[in-house]
Amino acid sequence: MSTVKRNLDIYRTRLVTLQNILGRAEAELYPDDPEKKTLLTAQLADDMLPLPNQIWFTCRQAELLLGKLNGTPVKEFESDKASFADLKALVAETIARLEAQTDTKEDFAEGKTTLELPGFPTLSISGQDYIDEWLTPNFYFHFVTAYDILRAKGLAIGKADYMSHLRPLLAAAAAG
């Protein structure tokens, strides 16, 4: 599998996991709070961003790659005004955009791209370094933080839920 295609697939499968975990949180946590307002302010530590930001930044990493591949700006998301339904929709929309990306533009990995960080000089790095050193670590940081917030709020999830992207491989191995 090509390198860019593989990264798109990794983001997609982990976002499916996040989608499933959010679905469970909606069904299992705070039954007296149908809008899940408690979760919208939940954070791991006082100096960390709350759940909506963690969901947004997880999706944003995938969106940043799509934006680089297609030369399009990344859609902004007002995480401070988001409902729980908005968060679920954001994840679903990001998955759909990843699935729709049929041209993986493999030359991106070998070419140069820019990484702009506020307060720092703009970096010119390879597309592969952009994916490996910036997008993917940030993707997992925010994904795991969202997972941890939901777990800390009482959602009964564990490693099998986090690693659910392996289920199709395990099913195939068991069948054959």
According to DSSP, residue 103 is labeled -
Quote the pLDDT of residue 69. Answer: 96
Q: What does R_g of the chain's alpha carbons equal in angstroms? A: 17
Q: What is the mean pLDDT of each run of 10 residues along the chain (176 residues)?
A: 89 98 97 95 97 98 97 91 97 97 91 94 96 98 98 96 90 88
CA–centroid distance for 86 within its chain: 14
Burial 11-27 (b: 16+ CB within 10 A, else e): bbbbbbbbbebbeebbe
Quote the pLDDT of residue 1. Answer: 57
Among the residues of 30-166, which ranges form H helices?
A: 37-40, 51-70, 84-100, 107-110, 127-129, 136-152, 159-162
Q: What is the pTM of this model?
A: 0.94
